[in-house]
Chains A and B, each alone.
Chain A
Amino acid sequence: MAFDIDTFAGDSVAIGWGDLDLDAFRTDPLPERTLRTLRYMCDVEFHTVCYLRDMLVTPSHTDGDVSTFMTMWNREEYWHGEALAAVLRVHGITVEFDQVKANRMKVGWKDRLDPIKQSLLGNIVGKDFIAVHMSWGAANERSAAAGYRRLIALEPHPALTPLLKRIAQQETRHIAFYTTQARKRLEASGRARAITRFALSRFWGPVGSGVMPEEEVDHVMTHLFSGEDGLREVRKLDEQIAQLPGLEGLAIMRDAFARRGLIPA
């Protein structure tokens, strides 16, 4: 899978929804549990800047392609957040700057130490750490895309479905970037494979876990990924990640679900 960064940058747009009739939600509102899941997704999208931050303190950002990608990606994700906030707004749920801010404040000390840990780790490990970020990003983007796909299947709606499809389409481009980068870097270095395997098998969790409240994570994962269709997405994600060099045999999403007690270990 070739990935051309200049094409990606040239095609990068803030997602639009001006042509969609969001007023459809007034006569045909979304059910409570879907709104709760959307709220989670919205917060996670707005939190992208925190992931960006973690990458910027390591050698990752000094790579020209990665730096260009980060610029475009951060803006696209920000607009995913705005799009979902627009849907929530029609339902009387406001996600304003100040609330996002309050959420980030709650992360507290962990948040303060994270950049320090990341920076130390990243600079000690050096270039191979970029492979961890790229693989981690690939898994995150895949879990986000899987989440949107599941929501599209679970909640058909004339305004929601096209919007989620637009978002999912951009997530697919993100997957392509991260996967291409991860593959290249993992192929090139045994040390990168070992560190990445260790980091992903030990610490990876579905996107949003670690930032959002535990009960919200459980709600969203149960809502989206329980049942045969949901578990099929989980298996698919695991298989795709396990195709990366050095990550054979891993099942990071299933393990994360088992750790949360959502499926039997």
Chain B
Amino acid sequence: MSAGAFDVLAYSADAQGSHRSELTGVGLPLPEPLRTELGYLRSRLSGTTAWLSLVLVTPTHKNARITAFLSGWAYERYWLADALDALTAEVGAPPAVRVGLRARFAPLVEAVLANLHGSALPAVHMAERAVDGVLLDAILGHSIGRASGPVAADLERLRRVLARQQAFFTEEAGRLLASSARARRLSRRRLTARAWPIGADDDPVRTAAVLTALSAADAAWARRADDRIAELPGLAGLGIARRSAANPGRPVLRTTLRPVVALGRLVASAVRRTG
């Protein structure tokens, strides 16, 4: 597998730390809906360790190019969240993450599944982040539209940091998906089995508020986001943004049979492995 064009080393060396000294909108009053939206973005940007805990138990952690990128990525996310804290005047430590039983054992489940899905998982993880990036960018774009000049300039600054991260995920997902039909199949399945953006299932009320406001302001946002997602190899027609907007905080596709189907697949792949 050839390495991509994105220069991971240069990125990691240049990862953006604290933005506080550059922010111009700190202390300016924010309309309440904008505050809510930025608070929501803050939560999505700071949920890096929970996601990493799922990703690193799989073969993705063996991909040194990806883990090198993620070391800079997690660092940048920390400081992006910190910048949003500054703009929304949130002080003190973020609320402790409440971890339900499902979330606690999620890495365990993922580690077990990883042994079955193996090498196709890095593609899924990169695609997850690429899709998430498209959705967060749509939300951030909406925030910028309602913000005053200095705050909007600050948010544009944060958006540039995110755009560079997105370039990596898009390139990496594109390459990995293009090279494996199995990765494309697994990605379609897994991307539609979860709620969007990442973390939305733990935060359904705010997700609904934010996505509803987005759709009210711009009915076409979801179609544009889905068009961007469809540019990834094999991911056309999933309707992730459209379905998430219609049913915020819930998995894109739901079926009462899902657990049965999942069990069937697990057995089938175990049999294939040993057979």
Beta-carbon contact of A56 and B108 below 8 Å: no
Quick one: closest B residue to A95, CB to CB? B64
Q: How many residues of B contact A (CB 8 A)?
A: 42
For the complex, give the distance between the alpha carbons of A119 and B71 in Å. Answer: 22
A191 CB–B CB distance under 8 Å: no
Q: Does residue A120 face the partner (Cβ distance < 8 Å to B)?
A: yes
CA distance A19 to B57 in the complex (A): 38
Interface of A is mostly: helix
B189 contacts chain A at the CB level, 8 A cutoff: no
A61 contacts B74, CB within 8 Å? no
Cβ of B3 and Cβ of A97 under 8 Å apart? yes
B65 touches A (CB below 8 Å): yes
A173 at interface, CB cutoff 8 A:
no
**A14 CB → nearest B CB, Å:** 6
On chain B, the residues within 8 Å of A97 by CB distance are: 3, 8, 64-65, 68
Stretch at the interface among A64-72, A163-171, A208-216, A225-233: A64-72
Q: Does A50 contact B (CB under 8 A)?
A: yes
Residue B216 at the A interface, CB < 8 A?
A: no
Say what secondary structure dominates the interface of chain B.
Answer: helix
A46–B64 CB distance below 8 A: yes
Which of A13, A71, A101 is the one whose CB lies under 8 Å from B49?
Answer: A71
Chain B 1-22, CB within 8 Å of chain A: the 1/0 string? 0010000110011010110000
Chain A contacts for B105, CB-based, 8 A? 119, 123
Residue contact A62 to B108, C-beta cutoff 8 Å: no
Nearest residue in B to A104 (C-beta to C-beta)? B62
Chain A proximity mask over B247-267: 1 for CB below 8 Å, otherwise 0? 000000000000000000000
Residues of B contacting A100 in the complex (Cβ-Cβ under 8 angstroms): 64
Contact yes or no, A74 B71, CB < 8 A: yes
A13 vs B17: C-alpha distance in the bound complex, in angstroms? 9
Closest to B18 in A: A10
**Which residues of chain B come closer than 8 Å to A65, judged between CB atoms?**
93
Write the chain A residue with the least CB distance to B9: A82
CB neighbors of A among B1-49 (8 A): 3, 8-9, 12-13, 15, 17-18, 48-49
B-side contacts of A57, CB under 8 Å: 53, 57, 107-108, 111
Verify A14–B93 contact, CB threshold 8 A.
Answer: no
Binary A-proximity of B152-193 (CB < 8 A = 1, otherwise 0)? 000000000000000000000000000000000000000000
Q: Is the CB of B57 within 8 A of A70?
A: no
Contact in complex: B56, A70 (CB < 8 Å): no
Name the A residues within 8 Å of B9 (CB-CB). Answer: 82
- Tell me which of A50, A78, A120 contacts B61 (CB under 8 A): A50
| Cα A13 to Cα B107 with chains together (Å) | 29
Interface pair B115/A71, CB less than 8 Å apart:
no
B63 to chain A, nearest CB (A): 6
Across the interface, which residues of A come within 8 angstroms of B108, CB to CB? 57, 115-116, 119-120, 123
Q: Decide: A64 and B107 in contact? CB cutoff 8 A.
A: no
CA distance A66 to B53 in the complex (A): 13
**Which residues 4-37 of A have a CB within 8 angstroms of B?**
9-10, 12-14
Q: Indicate if B212 sits at the interface (CB-CB under 8 A).
A: no
Question: What is the minimal beta-carbon distance from A218 to any residue of chain B, in angstroms?
Answer: 25
Among B56-89, those with CB < 8 Å from A are 56-57, 61-65, 67-68, 70-72, 74-75, 77-78
A71 touches B64 (CB 8 A): no
- Report whether A68 and B111 are in contact in the complex, using a CB–CB cutoff of 8 Å: no
Indicate which residue in B53, B64, B114 contacts A98 across the interface (CB closer than 8 Å).
Answer: B64
Shortest Cβ distance from B3 into chain A, in angstroms?
Answer: 7
A9, A74, A75: residue with the most chain B Cβ atoms closer than 10 Å: A75
Q: CA A257 – CA B95 in complex, angstroms?
A: 43
Mark contacts of A81-96 with chain B using CB atoms, 8 A cut-off: 1 yes-contact digit, 0 otherwise. 0100000000000000
A-B contact pairs, 24 of them (CB 8 A): A13-B17, A49-B56, A49-B61, A49-B70, A53-B61, A59-B104, A61-B52, A61-B53, A62-B97, A63-B96, A64-B93, A64-B97, A70-B49, A71-B48, A72-B75, A72-B78, A75-B74, A78-B68, A79-B12, A82-B12, A104-B61, A116-B111, A119-B57, A119-B111
Q: Residues on B close to A: CB < 8 A?
A: 3, 8-9, 12-13, 15, 17-18, 48-50, 52-53, 56-57, 61-65, 67-68, 70-72, 74-75, 77-78, 93-94, 96-97, 99, 104-105, 107-108, 111-112, 114-115
A residues within 8 Å of B by Cβ? Answer: 9-10, 12-14, 46, 49-50, 52-53, 56-57, 59, 61-65, 67-68, 70-72, 74-75, 78-79, 82, 97-98, 100-101, 104-105, 112, 115-116, 119-120, 123
